[in-house]
Amino acid sequence: MLTHTTPRRQPLRAAALFAATVGALLCAPSLAGAHAIAGNRVFPSTMAVDDPGVGDEANLQFGHQRVPGDNGDQSINTFDFEYDKLITPRLAVSVDGTYAMQNNPRAHGFDNFGVGLKYLLYVNDAHEFMTSVGVDAELGGTGSRAIADNFSTISPTIFAGKGMGDLPDSLAYLRPIAITGEAGPALTTGAGRPNAFNYGFTVQYSLPYLQQHVRDVGLPQPFANLIPLVEIPLSRSQGQTTGTVNPGFIWINRYGQFGVEAQIPINRASGSHVGILVQAHIFFDDVAPTTIGKPLFQ
């Protein structure tokens, strides 16, 4: 069965269409309405470690990795799709799917589909802190037999994010830094199937924050809206830790974002070559705040 460390995928034609739509929208520099905000801090929707916010949004992501398989290394391409819908301003539900292609053995099809629930617990604007709790369920037997498992996986998770905007003036140039993280078990329903503990964190340096809240250093576009970052998603199961170190960047504005990351395996069990993640993301709560981006209940 397919082994992967990144959620959310879909076919290439849908990826091209969605990326074109997002590209048409990513033309305004303002970040004023972005969905995960604590004080002056905007937490972007990161690619491998989920952000601490909730919102009306859609995410499309392509991933490529080479990982160890039963018959040697196998190349895996994945196309992820996730749609999140606000029920209230603090509660969101999600649906996601993955289309995967692997070459050893050759197989392609949908992985199991997933559903999720996420609740924004607490926001401290003065200290740029935000935390949420959620649960995701990968529904066994809903995907292709060549790709998907026949058992389900339930993953309760806690998310947190902290910006450094409350640092003193002597450390003003460190204020654009933010750290986010997530942690929780992945519990399987299959008899004899191993459980796992998934966790990870990100370190970000927001150039929009630097420009707007520390000092305008005159960065031109597209650099003024870049957030360089490193994500480190990890998983531990049966005494083995796997994961990657993902350096990259996110370009963000009010209506959406585009991101690219490398995936550097931390050990042989995590992969044999550097992989890649490419993301296109749209904020419906800012694109259409009075229609499809509006919470069902205020």
How far is the C-alpha of 116 from the C-alpha of 83, rounded, in Å? 10
Are 284 and 291 in contact by the 8 Å Cβ rule? The answer is no
Sequence spans of domains, the chain: 12-244+270-287
Which CATH number does the domain 12-244+270-287 belong to among 3.90.1720, 1.10.287, 2.40.160, 1.10.10?
2.40.160
- Checking if the pLDDT of 5 tops 90, the result is no
What is the tens place of the pLDDT at every residue in 262-291?
Answer: 999 999 999 989 999 999 999 999 999 999
pLDDT tens digits for range 98-134? 999 998 888 999 999 999 999 999 999 999 999 999 9
Verify cis geometry, omega within 30 degrees of 0, for the bond prior to 222. yes
